[in-house]
Homo-oligomer: A and B are copies of this chain.
Amino acid sequence: MSEEIQPQAPVATIGGIAAYDGQEVTIRGWLYNLRESGKLLFPIFRDGTGLIQGVMFKKAVPPEMFEALKNLQLESSVLVRGKVRADQRAPGGFELDITNLQVVQAVSQDDPFPITLKEHGVDFLMEHRHLWLRTPRQNAILRVRHEVIRAVRDYLDDHGFVLVDTPIFTPAACEGTTTLFETQYFDQKAYLTQSGQLYNEATCAALGKTYCFGPTFRDEKSKTRRHLTEFWMVEPEMAYAHMDDVMDLSEQFISYIVQRVLERRPAELKTIERNTAPLERVRPPFPRISYDEAVEILKRKGSEIQWGGDFGNADETLLGEEFDRPVMVHHYPAAIKAFYMQPDPQRPDLALGVDVIAPEGYGEVIGGGERMSDYNLLLQRIREQNLPPQAFAWYLDLRKYGSVPHAGFGMGIERVVAWVCGLEHVRETIAFPRMLYRLYP
């Protein structure tokens, strides 16, 4: 493979081509598409930053160069020299008048690029995920994901939260042990984290406001469009904070993320064909309703739910439809929430927990609330749950040495990306999704 085109022209990216209007540049990329029209070839090139159409006149280049392009398989890697020309009809606003083309590696005609414009089954695409990522739609989703993650971090960093990475290997379960992946850790067992929250409670007492952001794991034999076995979660936690603070932060946080994607990734959203009107409406304040009210709404809409039950996917969809922006449901029955939730002082059968349910049927994207701050009550709950108090000794310590009211939440990145992109299934929100029966590539 050689990468020299003589005479050299400055290397440009397709995404940054506007800076080179009227100049000759070198593009380093891949052949994305090719159309022939007599003495003209219209290749489209991609380089990861965008697509650009080139024009090759038969007379403008040596005959063997014209033939080489004419017979070139898609996704072959190429160095292209050409003059950038503004053209309003072109998708990116520019075309390239090709003066030189050099093939870096030609894809074999006997073994062409497996992903074509025709419809492929999901299993086929997932099996070829490493190549599927090259297509414009998948490419755009990954860029939106990146923007979501940048927005998450920028918002928290700019609001005084300190990132504290919490461990992946944990000695004990945060929310039950049945869905934990286990590994041999030298002479003991370790479990892969499902949440950094317990650790966040320690770090917020040290640093005031903290967050963790990393992969979490769930060993669940379920095949739904909202679940992966490996998914990324951001979890902010605040000392001296209550359930209302969680709702205030949630609505600001989600709105910031959605508006920022709208502002910075319009081209990607267009590629994905996302109707952005529902996203434009995602601004504070979000409606806040109690669990009691949510159950009434669901019954009215025909759900079979009874007070005390947890919402299923269908219930979340029904609830989400009722509002034009995310809805925050608070004061859940304590029995269906985690053991560490602070009870409502007025109605101790309720927990000061809140879930945020996205509109358009995307379900829960945030779960959080106020944590228990009383030592004795927490110890009692740990015993009731048959959790080993010894494993939670450090967690109980936080209630002995300067306990404070504290609160926080977890937000699943893949669900947010699925919602913002308008995807049917979370499997497209991450480069290499891990699901039941899907561990390759």
Q: Measuring CB to CB, which residues of chain A are less than 8 angstroms from any residue of chain B?
A: 1, 3, 13, 15, 28, 30-31, 47-49, 75-77, 104-105, 107-108, 111, 113, 128-131, 133-134, 138-139, 142-143, 145-146, 149-150, 153, 157, 160, 162-171, 181-186, 188, 190, 192, 199, 202-209, 214-215, 217, 221, 229-230, 232, 239-240, 373-374, 391, 394-395, 397-405, 430-432, 434, 436-437, 439-441
Contacts and interface: CB of A to CB of B under 8 A. Distances in A.
Number of copies: 2
B199 A169 contact: no
A149 to B, nearest CB: 6
A441 B193 CA distance: 13
Contacts of A31: 402
B167 A157 contact: no
A405 B104 CA distance: 9
Given A182-B184, A183-B182, A400-B108, A133 B215 contact: no
Given A157-B150, A402-B77, A171 B113 contact: no
A143 B208 CA distance: 12
B202 A139 contact: no
B206 A134 contact: yes
Contacts of A204: 48
Contacts of A142: 162, 164, 203, 206-207
A206 B77 contact: no
A436 B169 CA distance: 12
A157 B152 CA distance: 14
A246 to B, nearest CB: 16
Contact of A48 (B149, B157, B206): B206
Nearest to A31: B402
Contact of A149 (B76, B163, B373): B163
Contact of A208 (B49, B104, B166): B49
8 contacts: A28-B404, A77-B403, A128-B397, A130-B394, A133-B207, A166-B431, A188-B439, A394-B441
Contacts of A15: 160
